[in-house]
């Protein structure tokens, strides 16, 4: 029976970050890095033959709000200077963009760049000593993702990596995936975000992280001759038999969509097509040439005839059964529509515009699933820039934290505090247990507890209370004037937004009996925190 919908099983905001009645730490105001950036951008921006119109600015800000993790003043100036199309074309060729801000990631977070077998040996030392905990690995991976999202000049690549990882989600906490997730993102997702969809689909299908997560490594054709080699070829505790998990998610989530027209018979025959798709086991005695690598085990493959979506797969074949299924699904019209609709939901509106989705699906079909051209079509379509689509989505918690780091120029030292924040708000990278990944719609992230946690996060960040994140240290004179300089503060953090009501609320807070006695720097930090925690900053 095909499922009509799913129930999301991700962590909901539970424990909130403690909120203090009075913020007394004498720390720097984090937003002044953004204010300095605004002054620098103004000074460096080239002269225009004409000043940009309000609509030019609004469209530039909207593009940056959706195609990056934060519309900094310098970014807005760049888009207005070179034009939206030229900026987009540059972002669509990330290999041509010098990205010095993230070149040190592999040195700073070594677990992001090692092979699965190397990571296994780190976590499970052969001498029996105690290695680092999986939590240490998770913090490194999530920290690297945050650094890339906040600091990279290849912003569109980071946004698309976030989208496609969720589309092809795997769960860090499921057994062997703790050793495999880093390589999965590095080799199966990131290199393909502007390539052909079929290539990404094949890369994820063959990657051990997906094979393990959706149990395809367990899926075998069992007959009188397959049971004996099964015990030799696969890790212990493997159950012999056909497993439909990957086949079902491949069609329902990765390609055709829940209404894609497949049947239970298709699910069974797709599962049969992928029998024998496995990987070399990770253990202390594993051979280095196949440990944690894709392996096709021909002796475990169902060589009988199959039929998928009306296409016959002849008997007597091997791995080409699975390859043909991937090719068939990648080219199917339902896949084009499913992918297009998800892109519109993620980047445009929680209620996808069917006409826009149809246009993107047409580009997908015409170009053979060229994701660079599909992405270009998305961000150049006039429907994307409609006024009703601006600031109509709530940032996910990860997007909120990344955008705050990016727009305030805060110094990210380590991931301890960031992980606490993301865990409290239910959005630690790589930790969605559901094959759907983390949701993209605002309603999944908005409730009273979540909004309180977001407000507390803003105040804690500005007050220097989040471990591992250091606010920049401006001169005391500038910090003391931040409350008075609300115009500059809100322009830097909320470009293009009418912030009159927010500024009145910040001034009222500073004038309240509870806060009037605070030192200027304390009031400044509180002002910044209130702006970051405001509903205006939560939207993009």
At 156-168, the pLDDT tens digits run 999 999 999 999 9
Question: What is the per-residue pLDDT for 419?
Answer: 94
pLDDT above 70 covers what percent of the chain? 84
32 or 54, which is more confident: 54
pLDDT value, residue 514: 84
Q: Which residue in 348, 472, 350 sits closest to 413, CA to CA?
A: 472
Query: Which of 43-57, 173-187, 400-414, 433-447 has the weakest average pLDDT?
Result: 43-57
231 has a pLDDT exceeding 70: no
Length reported for the chain: 540
Average pLDDT, rounded, for the chain: 86
What's the pLDDT at 137? 96
State the distance between the two ends of the chain, measured CA to CA, in whole angstroms. 39
- Cβ of 345: how many Cβ atoms within 10 Å? 18
CA–CA dist 309, 325 (Å, integer): 9
Q: Of 299, 296, 290, nearest to 278 (Cα)?
A: 296
Looking at residue 23, what is its pLDDT?
A: 29
The reported pLDDT for the residue numbered 281 is: 86
Specify whether the CB–CB gap between 467 and 20 falls below 8 A: no
Q: What is the pLDDT of residue 376?
A: 98
pLDDT-based confidence at residue 523 (cuts at 50, 70, 90) = confident
* pLDDT for res 285: 66
Specify the higher pLDDT residue, 189 or 528. 189
Binning pLDDT at 50, 70 and 90, where does residue 288 land?
low
With cut-offs at 50, 70 and 90, classify the pLDDT of residue 286: low
Three-state DSSP at 295 gives strand
At residue 127, the pLDDT reads 84
Task: Tell me which residue has tokens 């801000």.
Answer: 101
Q: How far is CA 131 from the centre of its chain?
A: 28
Could you tell me the pTM of the whole model?
0.88
Query: What pLDDT shows up at residue 239?
Result: 55
Residues 6 or more apart from 275 whose CB is under 8 A from it? 219, 220, 221, 242, 300, 301, 302
Q: Which residue's entry shows tokens 């999301």?
A: 8
Mean pLDDT of 260-268: 97
Q: Which residues lie below 8 Å from residue 34, measured CB to CB, with a gap of 6+?
A: 72, 73, 407, 408, 409, 492, 493
The whole-number average pLDDT for the span 446-465 is 86
Tokens 């909004």 identify what position? 451
pLDDT at 198: 98
CA distance linking residue 486 with residue 165, whole number of Å: 38
pLDDT class for 257, splitting at 50, 70, 90? very high
The pairing of beta strand 306-308 with beta strand 311-313: antiparallel
- Report, as an integer, the average pLDDT of 425-440: 96
φ, ψ at 287 (rounded to 5°): -70, 140
Split at pLDDT 50, 70, 90, the class of 225 is very low
Q: What is the mean pLDDT of residues 493-497?
A: 94
CB 237 within 8 A of CB 210: no
DSSP class of residue 68? S
User: Would you say residue 385 has pLDDT above 80?
Assistant: yes
Instruction: State mean pLDDT over 357-378.
Output: 98
Q: Is the confidence at residue 360, as pLDDT, over 90?
A: yes
């Amino acid at each position: 029976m095909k499922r009509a919908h799913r129930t999301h099983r991700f962590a909901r905001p539970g424990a909130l970050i403690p909120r203090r009645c009075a913020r007394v730490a004498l720390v720097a105001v984090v937003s002044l890095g953004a204010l300095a950036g605004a002054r620098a951008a103004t000074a460096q921006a080239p002269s225009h033959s004409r000043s940009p119109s309000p609509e030019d600015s609004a469209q530039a800000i909207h593009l940056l709000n959706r195609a990056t993790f934060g519309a900094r003043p310098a970014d807005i100036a760049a888009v207005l200077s070179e034009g939206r199309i030229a900026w987009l074309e540059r972002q669509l060729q990330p290999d041509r963009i010098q990205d010095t801000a993230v070149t040190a990631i592999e040195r700073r977070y070594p677990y992001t760049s090692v092979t699965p077998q190397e990571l296994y040996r780190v976590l499970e030392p052969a001498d029996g000593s105690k290695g680092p905990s999986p939590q240490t690995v998770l913090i490194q991976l999530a920290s690297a993702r945050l650094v890339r999202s906040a600091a990279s000049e290849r912003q569109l690549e980071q946004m698309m990596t976030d989208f496609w990882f969720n589309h092809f989600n795997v769960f860090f906490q499921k057994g062997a995936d703790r050793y495999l997730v880093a390589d999965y993102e590095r080799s199966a997702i990131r290199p393909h975000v502007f390539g052909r969809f079929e290539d990404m689909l094949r890369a994820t299908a063959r990657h051990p992280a997906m094979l393990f997560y959706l149990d395809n490594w367990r899926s075998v054709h069992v007959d009188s001759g397959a049971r004996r080699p099964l015990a030799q070829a696969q890790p212990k505790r493997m159950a012999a038999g056909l497993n439909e998990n990957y086949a079902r998610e491949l069609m329902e989530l990765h390609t055709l969509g829940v209404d894609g027209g497949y049947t239970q018979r298709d699910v069974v025959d797709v599962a049969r097509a992928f029998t024998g798709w496995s990987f070399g086991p990770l253990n202390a005695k594993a051979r280095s040439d196949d440990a944690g690598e894709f392996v096709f085990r021909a002796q475990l493959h169902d060589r009988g005839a199959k039929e998928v979506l009306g296409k016959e797969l002849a008997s007597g074949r091997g791995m080409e059964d699975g390859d043909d299924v991937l090719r068939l699904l990648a080219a199917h019209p339902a896949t084009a529509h499913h992918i297009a609709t998800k892109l519109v939901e993620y980047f445009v509106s929680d209620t996808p515009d069917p006409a826009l989705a149809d246009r993107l699906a047409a580009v997908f079909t015409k170009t053979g699933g060229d994701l660079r051209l599909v992405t270009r079509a998305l961000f150049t379509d006039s429907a994307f820039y409609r006024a009703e689509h601006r600031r109509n989505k709530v940032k996910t918690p990860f997007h909120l934290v990344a955008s705050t780091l990016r727009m305030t120029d805060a110094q990210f030292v380590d991931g301890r505090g960031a992980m606490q924040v993301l865990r409290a708000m239910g959005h630690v990278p790589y930790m969605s247990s559901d094959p759907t990944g983390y949701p993209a719609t605002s309603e999944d992230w908005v409730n009273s507890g979540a909004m309180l946690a977001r407000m507390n996060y803003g105040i804690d960040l500005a007050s220097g209370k989040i471990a591992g994140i250091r606010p920049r240290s401006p001169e005391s004179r500038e910090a003391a004037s931040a409350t008075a300089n609300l115009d500059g503060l809100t322009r830097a953090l909320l470009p293009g937004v009418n912030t009159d009501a927010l500024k009145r609320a910040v001034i009222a807070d500073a004038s309240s009996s509870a806060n009037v006695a605070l030192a200027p720097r304390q009031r400044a930090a509180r002002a910044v925190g209130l702006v970051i925690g405001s509903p205006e900053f939560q939207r993009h």
